[in-house]
Structure 1
């Protein structure tokens, strides 16, 4: 079952994000706490939203997302930050159902697009996304300012 996340889901969601970091071979970069995720999802004006996949009462997958905006289209879109399903539940349709839930959010709200990033080496995910009809955005390179370079540039 796919549904919107609730506060009761936060501990399981944090564990799933940490599992994702381990899968992506970067566990040392994941510092998310339950309080941080709770505050982000359930504050008075949240900028982060979430859906979960549930099997037999247990949260086994998630999609965390936020709104972006296309100045060319003149409307919002959804940026998918994390999509993760535990390995033992992959192939059951839960990942597809999570992605479809976000596509439905876009269609229902009149949003122009659903976007995300995928690691170049993650062939199973790339195949999954391309099977859904997604296309890679060739010609675009992601840039990031973080840590000390971010602080230095802000000064």
Structure 2
């Protein structure tokens, strides 16, 4: 029987793991034709920008038996017209050998709790047009495609507090 997964906020000690996940995410996005560049971040940049005095983004990590198996990287946005914050989900990844075991669901629900705590009105993100499995997953969560940019869907998951 598998032990339950849990999600926690990333700490500075996770910077190397986050960097490794970003490398995996970049490779995955390349395979989905969603990214063609090279990473220019580093462990040091992650430490400074996520865990410094003024964090520009935040990360959640998925663990099972003390093994980090995935992450979600996000930042807050603010609309002056609505006077409400929202969250932009920049990256979501569960390592291949642990996919389809509920980890993505756990990460997204933990992100939803972050949104509710911040009184955010929604979570938004985009996905590769070729990642049909992810599109179905996001729709099962209750997210809707807010708009399309050519073939690229932009998702919006409303938060009702």
Q: Which structure has the highest strand share of the two?
A: 2
Please state if 1:7 is matched with 2:22.
Answer: no
Q: Alignment partner of 1:121: what SS?
A: coil
TM-score (norm 2): 0.82
Q: List gaps (5 residues or longer) in structure 2.
A: 1-5, 153-161
Structure 1 partner of 2:125: 116
> Offset of 1:137 from its aligned partner?
1.5
Please state if 1:77 is matched with 2:86.
Answer: yes
CA distance in 1, matches of 2:81, 2:136: 29
What CA deviation, in whole Å up to 9, does each residue of 1:72-100 have, x standing for no partner? 42111110000000011111111111111
Q: Which structure has the highest helix share of the two?
A: 1
Question: Following superposition of structure 1 onto structure 2, how do residues 74-153 of structure 1 map, counting pairs within 5 Å?
Answer: 74-138=83-147
CA RMSD in angstroms comes to 1.7
Structure 2 partner of 1:17: 22
TM-score (norm 1): 0.85
Q: List gaps (5 residues or longer) in structure 1.
A: 143-155
CA distance in 2, matches of 1:43, 1:20: 23
1:14 touches 1:37 (CA, 8 Å); kept in 2? yes
What CA deviation, in whole Å up to 9, does each residue of 1:74-133 have, x standing for no partner? 111110000000011111111111111111111122111101111111111111101111
Aligned length: 142
